[in-house]
Amino acid sequence: MADKDETLASPNPGETRDALAEGMMRLLRPAVEELDERVKGVRQSQLELREQIDGLCGELKKINEEQQVPVDLDPYVKKLMNARRRVMVVNNILQNAQERLGRLHQNVSRETARRKALLEPPNAGPVM
């Protein structure tokens, strides 16, 4: 009877560790997936913004070439090009973050599958 009480009082450290790891993975997985989706959305917005900036730069250059206006548009075109460059830098940072998140998600899935395989008893096959 003392052995039974000891077993209840001090669980197997391996089981505790596995349960804790499984709980952490279940907790982190939705956050990683949500973050990944948001990064994809921001990247798409960044690409659309870059296309809009490119179009606006082209239009300003055409206006500047076609019309003899007293306002010099070159400084504005340069500002837009600088903004485009910064958008591209942010896009590269987001792409790197998304790749890291993808690897993290893949590692979490792999570790979850490995732990499930360890926790599930192996099937002995049909008994004859």
**Per-residue model confidence as pLDDT tens digits over 56-101:** 888 888 877 777 666 777 788 888 889 888 988 988 898 898 888 8
- Residues 60 and 73: their CA atoms lie apart, in Å, by 7
Mean pLDDT of the chain: 78
Q: What is the pLDDT of residue 11?
A: 63
pLDDT at 127 over 80: no
User: Residues 6 or more apart from 98 whose CB is under 8 A from it?
Assistant: 36, 39, 40, 43
Q: CA angle at residue 80 from 40 to 82, to 5 degrees?
A: 80
* The overall pTM is greater than 0.85: no
- Closest residue by Cα to residue 29 from 112, 93, 115, 98: 112
